[in-house]
Amino acid sequence: MCSERAPDDLTARARIRDAAIRLFADRGIAGASVRDIAQAAGVSSGLLRHHFGSKEALRDYCDVYAKDRTDQFREEVFAGGKMTDPGFLVSHSPEMRLLQRYLVQSIKDGSPAASAMFDKMVDLGEEWTIKTGVATRDPRAYGAAICAMQLGLFLFADQLSRVLDVDLGSTEGYVRLNHALIDVAATTMLSPEQAGYLHEAMDRVLDTSPKE
Amino acid sequence: MCSERAPDDLTARARIRDAAIRLFADRGIAGASVRDIAQAAGVSSGLLRHHFGSKEALRDYCDVYAKDRTDQFREEVFAGGKMTDPGFLVSHSPEMRLLQRYLVQSIKDGSPAASAMFDKMVDLGEEWTIKTGVATRDPRAYGAAICAMQLGLFLFADQLSRVLDVDLGSTEGYVRLNHALIDVAATTMLSPEQAGYLHEAMDRVLDTSPKE
DNA sequence: TCGTTCGCTACACACATGTATAGCGTACTA
DNA sequence: TAGTACGCTATACATGTGTGTAGCGAACGA
């Protein structure tokens, strides 16, 4: 799709994997059947089983493929000397955007491999929070929250496309949303006074509702 | 659950609705079968059909119920004179938290009623963005983004619970996450210079990749 | 050249799901 | 008191799903 790829990677096995990633990303893991995937890859469903054994095993394979491919792409970008926020850069490639959508679905449904990736994301988010000195008493929860929010965004792509009246899969929609996200990251939605008030309110919640 | 409720609302019909909302919230719309819902409500699946006609109709009923109930709760809170951010307050009630989780699932899967609720959320977000003078050129995208991120958070509750090692369904976990969210809303993740640089980078993306 | 592996298809099995229908008992009413 | 509407169950049907198996043809090595 993007960088060089082994020629024999256009085999049926690779086509199945690509079709699976696309359908999983579009419909969620449970929403894509093995027959749909096989048909999208232009093969029989038996061949899918022949190559991967089961739907779950196919998903595992897609997990490691998506992770490896993403890491590889990230390294290429870094090696290319483009030293801006990697989190933003990675998603500029259509292939990376697809893999990202897939990984979000996979993380949401919670496979071991995907959960491990989420853990790593949160670890990085926590490190970043501490390193940059964000004003929070709970860097881990802070990092986890921004990770989950970032990922959650992808799950509402359809709704966002409708509300913004632009296809978020297109470059135009993608750029428009990212401009907004930059603004979200660069602005503040609560004043320190408001934040303090809300923190106190939350503590009161903890005190007044010990039951449940 | 929370405020007063008509006594005859404990009928099988109501139990089905409550069970549906709970299972839909936990497993997603497609992930909860009518048989599971019926069993959770302690009735036969035939009765579910007798009362609601179809799974889709049941979902529609849950949509309007959740919406009405949320609006009602919000009004009660406002009438009670507690004038803090309603967005936060609403979710302090366990029932409201459940309904919120249900609505997130329903919006994600995109029923007409749920889509209308998302539209309204985005409208409010846009208004708020303009009214408070947030520094963005695209208030609608800004409002839509924060709505989607807020909702998306709920879809990763399991992952967040694992990573933070606390049950997000408990008051303790809920409070901890909300403290972090307040910090996210009160802090800035990008300096104006960084934001400006990224905005320029995004514009360059728009220029350099007209194909696709 | 023969045998074996391998990519691949067709088909079948068991099960879950949404939907549909027949029928039973009770409560209310004319 | 007879009839009827209603709440409710049991069961069946059609379909889609993941999985399993039998078998075919080509390629490749002994």
The tens digit of pLDDT for each residue in B123-132 reads 999 999 999 9
Residue A50 CA distance to nucleotide C7 C1' (Å): 9
A150-178 mean pLDDT: 95
A1 pLDDT band, cuts 50/70/90, is very low
> Could you give phi then psi for residue B136, rounded to 5 degrees?
-150, 150
* B59 CB-contact burial (10 Å; exposed 0-12 / middle 13-18 / buried 19+): buried
pLDDT value for A81: 57
Cβ contact (<8 Å) for B148 and A135? no
Name the token pair of A50: 């022949």
Query: pLDDT digits over B164-175, tens only?
Result: 999 999 989 999
A48-51's contacts with Cβ under 8 Å and 24+ in sequence apart are A48/A16, A51/A12, A51/A13, A51/A16
Would you kindly state where each structural domain of chain B is located, as residue ranges?
A: 8-155
Assign A206 a pLDDT band (cuts: 50, 70, 90): confident
Cβ distance of B88 and A170 shorter than 8 Å: no
Provide the pLDDT confidence category of residue A87 given band limits of 50, 70 and 90: low
Q: Kindly indicate whether the domain formed by A7-155 is annotated with CATH number 1.10.357.10.
A: yes
User: Could you give the CA distance from residue A96 to residue A153 in angstroms, rounded to a whole number?
Assistant: 16
CB contact under 8 A, A140 and B164: yes
- In 3D space, the residue among A73, A69, A84, A60 whose CA is nearest the CA of residue A182 turns out to be A84
Q: Which residue has the higher pLDDT, B156 or B74?
A: B156
**Cβ A36 to strand D below 7 Å:** yes
- At residue A8 the predicted structure's pLDDT band, cuts being 50, 70 and 90, is very low
Instruction: Please tell me which residue of chain A has the smallest CA distance to B82.
Output: A201
Q: What is the pLDDT of residues A90-133, one digit of tens each?
A: 667 889 999 999 999 999 999 999 999 999 999 999 999 999 99
Q: Give the model's confidence band at B212: pLDDT under 50 very low, under 70 low, under 90 confident, else very high.
A: very low
Chain A interface, best mutation among B115, B126, B129, B149, by max A CB count within 10 A:
B149
Residue B2 has pLDDT above 50, yes or no: no
The nearest alpha carbon in chain B to A125 belongs to B189
Averaged pLDDT, B148-153? 96
Selected residue with higher pLDDT from A199 and A7: A199
Say how far apart CA A70 and CA B41 lie, in whole Å: 45
% of chain B with per-residue pLDDT over 70: 88
- Domain boundaries B8-155, corresponding CATH code: 1.10.357.10
Q: Note every long-range contact of B122-125, with CB atoms under 8 Å and residues 24 or more positions apart, other chains counting.
A: B122/A163, B122/B147
